Amino acid sequence: MDQAKYEEMKAMLQKLEDIKNSQESILDKINHVITDLFQHPDNELEKAMELAHQMASDNVDKIRSAIETYEIKFNKAQQS
C-alpha cells in the first residue's frame, strides 16, 4: 500500500474512533440525566431518556462494528 492510501485509511479510523467516543460521551450524559431523575421523577422525560439511551447504545455498537470491519480492510491493505 502506498503512503497516501495508508494515511487516508488511518485518518478514517481516527475519525471513526472519534465518532464512537462522542457517542459514548452522549451515553454518559444520558445516564447522568437518568440518575438525576431518581431524585426528581418525570415519567415522560424518563421514557425519552431510556429511548435515547437505547438509540445511542445501538449507535455505539454499529460504529464499533464498522471500525472492526474497516480495521480488517486496513490490515489486509497493509499486507498487499
Interatomic CA distance for residues 52 and 28, integer angstroms: 11
**Could you read off the pLDDT of 43-61 as tens digits, one per residue?**
999 999 999 999 999 999 9
Closest CA to 1 of 10, 68, 70: 10
| Number of domains, the chain | 1
Q: What is the pTM of this model?
A: 0.86
Instruction: Say yes or no to pLDDT of 73 above 90.
Output: yes
% the chain with pLDDT above 90 = 95
- The parent domain of residue 68 ranges over 3-79
Q: How far apart are CA 13 and CA 52, in angstroms?
A: 26
**Residues with Cβ < 8 Å from 15, sequence gap 6 or more?**
none
